[in-house]
Amino acid sequence: MDAAAEPSLQDYLRADIVAADLPDLQPLLGARDLLRAFSTLFHGGEESVMVRLLVLRAIGERGEAPDWSPQELREHFAYLDPVKFDTVIGRLRDNDLLLWDGQTQRYRISPAGRQALAAIGLLLQFNREGDELAYVTAQIAAGQAVGRVRSDDLQHLLSRLNELREDFDQAVLSGSEHRIQRAAGTLQHAWRWIEKGTQIVEEISADLELDSHTHRVAQQIGRAQSAMLRQASVFQRALSQLDRHRVHLGASGLSSSDVNRYLRELDIDSLAGIADDLLTRTAIPAFLLAPIALDVAEYELVEREREAREDQSLPPAQAAPSAEGSPAAATDFGFAENWLDQLTALAGGPAADDASLPSAVLAEVVPHDNFSVSAYRLSLLGLIGDPGAENREGVSASMARLPLAWRVEPVFETVGHSGVAYMSRGRLDTLSEEDLLRARQPRKRKAVAEEGEDAAASAEAASAEAAPPKKRKRAAGRDAADSEHDDHEHDDKKTAESGAAPKRRAKKAAKDTVPTA
């Protein structure tokens, strides 16, 4: 792309904004030459940048003889391709990083190139992880040594301290031993630079010639450094708590933390190799019903959130619906009445050839129309013989009083129609009058027994009320004798009454159970 197509600085700004009116842009505009040096070094691909930095740093490292002839450069960089090397030297010279002296026919690094090399050298000196705090602290120390402490450098240090403190707090809150140990190592690595920064901040705070803004930033850095120094005790308490909950693997001396650390050091292929022939399939508990578990999970994950978003307010007031439109009035008992008619016809039908009572196979009479109607008809058979139907009215009561009895066997038989594939084998039999009377006798005996017990209890209460009250003022010996005599009389009377009650109950039960012609 040629220079004519390069966008100007004004193209990045709004139409009503001028670059000269931006205070933050003025320091950058005043350092165009120095920034152009960095642009020359770092423009293009990563490999090109590496070669430019290699050549420029090698030229700047010879302090005893800073001037280089072209022959010396070719001999020193003989390991580079000559064509590519000439291209790199030409780019550095065209952008004023290298100066060419026509009289001596030698190259030397320009002042802008020397500044760029110094900044890059300081940056490479603090290239390890965690050394970004050391780099910022070194910048502040250098400025304080020459009497040029900039507020921007102090802001960088304050920002980095606050970032580290936030990372340390998050590591403690996570409860992860790995993160806490890594954060503790970072703090230990940055400890000497925090102490160095504390000394620099104390010297800056003691300087009365600095402006109030710089003093305020220095005080904030001091508070952030104090919080960082207290972080060591926080890490120690967190690690001690994790150590109390650590699980040890028998008497091997290993713990769950050792296993975790070992697994973290493995790559993905090694982890996959360890898992071979170990994880085949997930165990499924036999007591866990998948549909129920799915319903519970669906409610917890979907329905609960849906209910929380629904409007739970009361609906507006409205008139009560009429009785004609109520669901109870609209209930259709047509299927039940039709089934009742069929069962009634079966109970009152003609006798079979062998003079036995009518009966029917369930697989022949129950299926009708579709599966829903067939299941409904089968469920209504459970009402037959219900003892509580004597005091009810309607279809269910009429069906309960039918002289029928049904039984099923633990065997399935094929149906193949009305939506029913197969059902349990069973029969529906008609009961005779003797069978019905025999079925009612246990209920009658129970009712008579309850009636006799109620009559005995009433008689005992009446005799107790009719007894005359005893005299209170008697001698001590006579009271004891009379009391014992009264107890004997009461026991005899109770025995007589209890003996009479069973006789009456037995006589009444015998009278009720006499078979009728």
| 149-187 tens-digit pLDDT | 777 777 887 888 888 888 888 888 887 777 888 888 778
> What per-residue confidence (pLDDT) applies to 206?
73
pLDDT at 135 over 90: no
3-state secondary structure of 475: coil
Q: In Å, how far are 192, 233, 264, 399, 475 from 187, measured between CA atoms?
A: 9, 11, 22, 86, 101
Q: What band does 358 get if pLDDT is binned at 50, 70 and 90?
A: confident
Q: Look at residue 311 in the predicted model and tell me its pLDDT.
A: 76
> In 10 A of CB 288, how many CB atoms?
8
Residue 248 pairs in a beta bridge with: 255
Residue 441: what pLDDT? 66
Taking each helix axis as running N to C, give the angle between helix 82-94 and helix 46-60, from 0 to 180 degrees, rounded to the nearest 10: 80
Q: Which residue has the higher pLDDT, 397 or 500?
A: 397
Task: Please name which of 241, 219, 98 lies closest in space to residue 161, comparing C-alpha atoms.
Answer: 219
pLDDT of 18 above 50: yes
C-alpha distance from residue 516 to each of 356, 434, 441, 494 (Å): 22, 10, 13, 37
Please give the average per-residue pLDDT across 51-67, as a whole number.
Answer: 85
Q: Is this prediction's pTM over 0.75?
A: no
pLDDT at 448: 52
Contact 415, 363 (CB under 8 A): yes
Q: How many helices (DSSP H) and strands (DSSP E) are in the chain?
A: 21, 5
Q: Are 254 and 264 in contact (CB under 8 A)?
A: no
Rounded to the nearest 10 degrees, how much is the dihedral formed by the CA atoms of 499, 500, 501, 502?
Answer: 60
Q: What is the pLDDT of residues 117-134, one digit of tens each?
A: 888 877 777 766 556 677
